Structure formats: C-alpha cells, structure tokens
Amino acid sequence: MASSLIDLCTLISTSVAAVDARCKALSATYPDLDNPLNSEKSESLILDSEIANETAVALAAASQLIASMQYPSRTILDASYGFIISTALGVVTESSTAEIIREAGPHGCHINDIAKKNGMDPLKIGELPRCVATSRTDMTSQPEFYAPLATQHIFREVSPNVFAHNRVSALIDTGKSFEAIQAAPEDKYAGAEGRAAGILLNTDETMKAAAYIGDVVLDKVWEASDDELNTPLNRAFGTHVDLFSWYEKPENKKRFKRFGFAMDVSQRFSPPGAILQGFKWSTLPDKALIVDVGGGIGSISLEIAQANPHLRFLIQDKQAVLHEGAGALGDQDTWCIGCRKGCLSENMTFFGPQSVKNADIFFLRFILHNWSDAYSLKILKHLRDAAQNTTKLIVVEHLLPLVCGEDETYKHIPGAVPDSLPPKPLLPNFGIVNMSPYFVDIQMMALLRGCERTFPHYWDLLMKAGWEIEEVHRPLGSLVTQIVAKPI
C-alpha cells in the first residue's frame, strides 16, 4: 500500500510541475482560486491541451490518494451528506446571495447586509455559505462523527460572518444587479454569465425527484411497469406526465424557462468549439441539410452554422421550446431554413414519423439519454425510415466509461476505445475527473426513465434500430462524444 501512495504522490507532483512549466512557457500564471476575477488569459490556460491532460492526472491521483488515506467511515458518511452541499448551493443561488456579495466588492459582505437585501435570516445565510466555504473538523471520540461537511472551496469567509467570492463561487453569479433581478425575476437567467440556471435545475427538481429514486427502484411493481411515466419525478410531484409536459404546466413556468437556459449553459462545460471538433462539418457539400432533432433553442446548430455558412439547418422541437428559442437567439432566419421570419423551426413529436426525407445529417444531441431503450428505439427507427442511403446519424452524448476499462471488442471502430489509459495506479476511467456522466446518469433516472449508456449499449441499441456505428469522436477536454452512424 505504501508503494501505491508514493506512486500517487509522484503523479501529483510530476503533473503539477508540468503544469507550472507550461504556464511559464506561455508567460502566464495559473488562475488563483481566491480570485473571482482572474484574467481571461489566466482562465484560458485550463483549455490548453497539455495543461488539461496533466491536470486530469493530478486531480485523479489526488482524489485516489484521499480515498486511500481517509478513514473509510468518513468517506462513506461524507458521501451520504452530499445533499447538504446541494441544498446550500440551491438556496444561495435562488436567493441571489451571489449577486449581493459581488456588488459588495472584493472585501466581502456581512450576513446582516445580505439579509437586509434578500430578507433571509442572517444566521441561515451564515450557515449556508460557511457550509460550502469552510469545514468544521471537530473530532469526537469516534471518527465516524466527524463534522459532515468537507471543505468545498466555494466562497471565502474573509472575516467572521463576512463572505466574498472566489473563482468557484463566481460561477453562480448571473452578472446582473440584485435590483434588476428583483424587478424582473423571470428574466434572471436570460443572458446570464454564470451557471445559476444549471445549478438550480440540479438542486430543485432533480434533487427533489432523486429523493424518490429508492422508493421507485425498490418497488418491484412500480419498477417492472413499462409505463414511461413511472419515474421518481412523477412520484415526487404527484403527476403522471412526462418531464417536458410537466414543465409546460402553468405552475412550472419559472422552471420551464430556467430549464431552457440551463440546457444552453450546459454547453459551456465543454471547451469552446467542442462541437466543431471531431466530425468534419466543413466537408459536407454545399447546402447540405442538417436536421437538429429536439434541438431546443438552437444554440448548438447556430454554433455549427456560424462556422459553416454553406450548410442549411432545420431545428425540430416542441412549439413551446421553439418559442423560447426565438426569444433567446433572436432573428436567425438567415441560417435556419424552412421557416418564416422570427421562427426558428418546426413543431415535432419524437415518437411520430420523421417529416424530413432528404436530410444529409440527423443530429441528436442529448436526446436519447432522456428515454428508455424502448422509446429511444422508436426515435431511431423513425429516423432510419426517413433516411437516405447517404444520410448520417450523429448522436452527441456522454459515453459512460467502464471503471474497469473499455471493452476491447470494439477497438476496430475508430474512437470507440480511448487511445491511451491513465498511468497506474489510477482507475482506467480517470476516477473523479470523469464523474459527470455518472451524475447525469442518475439525473436521467430521477427526471425521466432514461440513462447514460456505455459504448456496447449504444452499439446494440443503434443496430436494433437499423444504424451501424462508423466512428466515435472524443473532442479534447470534453466528456461529450460524437457517435457517427450510417444506415444498415
């Protein structure tokens, strides 16, 4: 065991030294955790390929070192208290505390002054940021009674009851004034700089639904049902409609609008231009038609279109979503085809026949993970029925990594198996560095009846629907893959 601990320490120190050397070579300084206003040059360092690779090794090794050396009872107890962090983040974000703290300046804001603005109990305000800013490590006679909250490095307590932003907490800030938010709370996330909408998607409906996962999956009758509406969300909110119909209910107007912005923000978690890496959009012929099935407000298609003006795009989604898109992206009729001025696309239903018969590309981004295999097959089969022999299917999803390493059976397919493995003794899937797909997997279980899938799972699913995977692209620095398939 001592040897593996030393190996992990060596990986950390070697990787950190490599990052430092690369920063010096670029005449830059790695972003400072305590500074919410690092320079653009500094923050862009994390996108450098060499720094990103070395950082992944250091983070994976550091996490594995903690797991190896920490009391197992504390590890399992801390994991069970994860919802505390989610709750704290949700309240801080919803109450616009992040905006109040930013407006107070770099020296921070006292909880009493925060309370004067947002009307919360000052003691509750103090408990929430402190919960995610500093840990209480008072030790009782037994290790399993360690205080449950580990240091999270979100916010800084600069003096007693005075909180300021750091590089992490600044991401919660919408960049808007507290007064502007109070005047138009429904527009809080429109054009927001931060990730507040995504945080609240996770800490509101997702967390509330996730609390019922155990009730659902342990109920044999409920779980065995083929009803797609037997979900934790349905049980949590006492409804029997799908997530998207639930969002359209009048009482969920705020959540629905926030969800659209959260989906738009989600693309920021990948490096800029990640969708342009991998599949060569530029090689498509002039006026090739890309049908963005379930394309939401159209932000991804717009990104592709701006880099490839020779292509045509048609975005298909539910009418309510398209309406939100028209407001979010404005008049984009110069790049969207088949629609009138001010309209982004055409109304559609996933489970009916596909109306477009001349598509060069059917594009599905984070659609299949919303649905069970049975419903995903319906979507894929309708696309196959409408496809020409030359039509390609591009599925953009997380590929759920196998913790033990990828199945070599599919190594003949370009990109199906990663080119290299992390150095030993790290986990083959890079451990905590690649946790996002697993989080989303459980989120899909909570909100819908969907899931993230491994490559073998996608291979079987697509084959059943009449599609054969040709290649997989893994854009550098992104956990999102592009699966390219052809009609069988």
From start to end of 226-370, where are the E strands? 289-293, 312-317, 345-347, 361-365
User: Tokens 């609008």 correspond to what residue?
Assistant: 257
- Cα dihedral sign, 101-105-109-113: negative
User: Tokens 């720094």 correspond to what residue?
Assistant: 51
Mention every residue, 6+ apart, whose C-beta is less than 8 A from residue 12.
58, 61, 62, 65
> How far apart (Å, rounded) are the C-alpha atoms in residues 257 and 344?
17
75-130: per-residue pLDDT in tens? Answer: 998 899 888 888 888 888 888 988 999 999 999 988 888 888 887 665 555 555 55
Whole-number pLDDT of residue 168: 87
Characterize 460-471 residue by residue with b for buried, 16 or more Cβ atoms within 10 angstroms of its Cβ, and e for exposed.
Answer: ebbeebbbebee
User: Nearest Cα to 309, choosing from 301, 317, 319?
Assistant: 301
Whole-number pLDDT of residue 114: 86
Q: Does residue 369 have an active-site annotation?
A: yes
Q: Where are the alpha helices (DSSP H) in 251-398?
A: 253-266, 299-307, 319-329, 373-386
Cis peptide before 72 (omega within 30 of 0): no
280-487 fold: Rossmann fold (3.40.50)
Residue 403 burial (CB count, 10 A): 12
Whole-number pLDDT of residue 342: 31
DSSP structural state of residue 336: B
Spell out the domain ranges in the chain: 2-69, 72-188, 201-266, 280-487
DSSP structural state of residue 316: E
Instruction: Give the H or E element holding residue 437.
Output: helix 436-447
Residue type, 148: P
Bridge partners for 469 per DSSP: 485
> How far apart (Å, rounded) are the C-alpha atoms in residues 153 and 130?
10
Active-site annotation holder among 369, 382, 398, 473: 369
Tell me the Ramachandran region of residue 52: left when phi exceeds 0, alpha when psi lies from -120 to 50, beta otherwise: alpha
**pTM more than 0.75:** yes
- Residues 343 and 322 sit within 8 Å (Cβ to Cβ): yes
Whole-number pLDDT of residue 146: 19
- The residues of the chain scoring below 70 in pLDDT are 1-2, 120-151, 223, 267-272, 319-349, 476-478
